[in-house]
Structure 1
Amino acid sequence: MTDHRTPAETAVRQCLNLAAEESCLVVTDDERAPIAEALYEVAGEITDDAVVTRYPPGETHGGEPPEPVAAAMAGADVVLAPTTKSLSHTRARTEANEAGARVATLPGITDEVFVAGLEADYEAIADHCETVHEQVTGADEIRVTTDRGTDVTFTVGDREFLEDTGIVHEPGDMSNLPAGEVFVSPSSADGTVVVDGTMRPHGLLEDDQAITLEFEDGLVTEISDPEIRETVEGAAEEVGDAAYNVAELGIGTNVGVTDLVGSVLLDEKAAGTIHVAIGDDAGIGGDTEAPIHLDGIVCEPTVEADGEEVTLPRAE
């Protein structure tokens, strides 16, 4: 049986820094209850105002939770959300942050990822985030290349690079747990991305499974994988070109992730990788709303900020 105690302690005490006078809401669904109970148990040792709310798993990542859950999120000081489908890119999460809540989402969290990703020193991860952030902040263009064929240039525009450090100590702070990335919602992208790490719904990709994404003027124009293409086209029937939007460029900084495991939540944080997302970016500094946010992880990239190579952290 998996011991959830240590990672739960890290999440509640180090990452969220829950205090005795604060309220804590753990949002979960029927498939993530054991992890939620571990978080609740630790929170309940700190504050008398700890609650678990549970609902059936959502249908899509970025789908809104039931209204009573959204209202409870906006009323809490601290929110932890181990859910099957991601609440990161939802109005409920955004509105909770705007109301002052500190929020940590744990989308698709599994026992393996919970233990592997949260038995880490998040103060050290925050330092790696800061080092990368300093190198990319202020750049107009970010170019990413790999030996597998990736050659893509992202236009930053007026968007800001953000840090997902896992340290969620100030009102309105938000992090994905496990954490460890520097990311931006670029204003545009042109070129080729060859995803050779992890991408939903396939998980960890084999050598012959690499997925090619072609971008032009900020939209993905070609997707080599039929299943992912069908997902994006289905979303486009609802929201049009928003489904094809280049939503995110992220740079992994979690040096504790030594191997990819097939979970986007963990693998996108791996130091020495980058990831690119398609779809919704409204919750991360962009202005596009879509019912999808699909991340693909790219291994062993070279990253340049306005022509200067960025020094990436590496797994310990």
Structure 2
Amino acid sequence: MTTAVSGLITGTLEHLRRPLVRNIKKGQRVLVLSDTEHDPRVWQAIMTILADIEADATLCLFSRRPADYYDPPAAVCEAMMKSDVNVLCSSTGMLHCAASLRSMEAGIPSICLDGGMRLEWLQSGAITDDMKQIAVRKHYVGKNVFGEGAKSCRVTSRHGTDFTYSVENMIWIPPLPSDSFDPYKIINFQKDENRPAGKLYYYLYPTGEFNVAPIEGTAEGKLVIDLTMHHLGLLGSPIELTVEKGRIVKIDGGTDARILRDFLATYGDDNAYMCPAEASVGVNAKAVVRGIQREDKNIMGTMHFGLGTNVDVGGSIMSKIHMDGVILEPTLYVDGVKRIEDGRFLVPIEGE
């Protein structure tokens, strides 16, 4: 399928189309959520594809939310509970906002490409990787990088990271995909990935991360975010977080550090300073630096560390927000053994 939406771009939308045609049937009620700061060509293309499917599609367009994990307007939250499928393509992350979690718990799935993806970025990069092989890599990262019995992690980086945290009993190894595995079908995470993280029921793209929720309160040291962070985008200078007993006590650096301090003070809450809410590994071989979380945190060999909410990845923290910060070339030790060095895996992740 090719398109020239608003006469601005010509190219294939096959990667955008696949999850929609695999999961949405003729006549189903589909709610498309977007905001006024998102690339409008994306929701226009989605609505065109839904018209091809003959779905009963409705577009909800609203002002940009102040932060990731903030709900859409109340009327949209209500409409999400009356839909058969919700398609999220907002400039802020909405997959794990309260309204989305409620709808998934009610058995209404989400198809998610939120976070500010431009239409060009849905034709190249992370979205073009082999989705079945991503599932293979996630299995082997769980098995070979961590292992079910993993207890402690230490992360270092050339920018000064030296950070430790416990993952004891927190490593969940997703199964290898079977011959009948459909990489574009909506996932029931408790059933399909062995992840004890609530009733998550969605398809996320682009994707490519192995999620870990460290034990709250165990992290210590310096965590230096050097690539990208939610809300801030591509960083102009590293942000140094000082963490004591799993909580940020100091934020140092240049302009980006100041922006983060002000953002947390304005839009966060007490739990927004919990860190790391998430400490995950990128496994997408086609992901490239875009300056947005939806792509950058999936880059092969990166690690991203979350602040705030982590109930969606197996933790227990609830916050107004969740913010991921990416380290481009981390070194990871698991129980004292080096498993990733400067962003390169030292153990097999493509197969046995």
TM-score interval, smaller chain: 0.7 to 0.9
Q: Which amino acid aligns with 1:147?
A: R
* Conserved 8 A contact 1:275-1:298: yes
SS at structure 2 position matched to 1:7: helix
**Residues 1:141 and 2:148 aligned together:** no
Give the TM-score taking structure 1 as reference length. Answer: 0.85
Give 1:296's match in structure 2, choosing from 325, 329, 348: 325
Partner in structure 1 of residue 13 of structure 2: 5
How far off its partner does 1:22 sit?
4.4
Question: Is contact 1:278–1:293 with CA below 8 Å preserved after alignment?
Answer: yes
Q: Given the superposition, is the C-alpha separation of residues 128 and 43 from structure 1 closer, same or farther in structure 2, using an over 3 Å criterion?
A: farther
2:116 maps to 1:129:
no
- Which of these residues, 19, 31, 34, is aligned with residue 28 of structure 1? 34
Residues 63-212 of structure 1: matches in 2 within 5 Å? Answer: 63-105=70-112, 106-116=114-124, 117-135=126-144, 136-138=146-148, 139-159=150-170, 161=172, 167-170=184-187, 172-188=200-216, 189-206=219-236, 209-212=237-240
Counterpart residue identity of residue 104, structure 2: N
One-letter amino acid of the counterpart of residue 139, structure 2: E
* 1:225-256, Cα deviation, whole Å (9 max, x unpaired): 122122223345xx32x121112111111111
- CA distance in structure 1 between the partners assigned to 2:27 and 2:135 by the alignment: 26
Aligned equivalent of 2:260, options 228, 235, 242: 228
TM-score by length of 2: 0.77
Contact (CA 8 Å) 2:154, 2:163: kept in 1 or not? yes
Native 8 Å contact 1:113 1:263 kept in 2: no
The structure with the larger Rg is: 2
**2:25, 2:55 within 8 Å by CA — same for their partners in 1?**
no
Distance 1:147 1:291 in 2: 32
Per-residue deviation at 1:175?
4.3
SS at match of 1:31: coil
Quote how far apart the aligned CAs of 1:158 are: 4.9
Q: What residue is the counterpart of 1:274 in the other structure?
A: 303
Task: State the superposition RMSD in angstroms.
Answer: 2.7
**Deviation readout 1:186-206 (Å, 9 max, x if unpaired):** 223212212121124443235
String of CA shifts for 1:132-162, please: whole Å, max 9, x gaps.
1223352222222223322212222554548
Q: Matched residues in 1 for 2:331 and 2:118: separation?
A: 30
Number of aligned residue pairs:
306
Distance 1:300 1:82, change over 3 A: same
Structure 1 unmatched ranges of 5 or more: none
Cα offset, 1:90, TM superposition: 0.8
Unaligned runs of 5+ in 2: 1-7, 178-182, 189-199
* Contact kept in structure 2, 1:193 and 1:213, CA below 8 Å: yes
Partner SS for 2:129: coil
Shift of the 162–49 alpha-carbon distance from structure 1 to 2, 3 Å rule, reads farther
User: Shift in Å at residue 51 of structure 1?
Assistant: 2.8
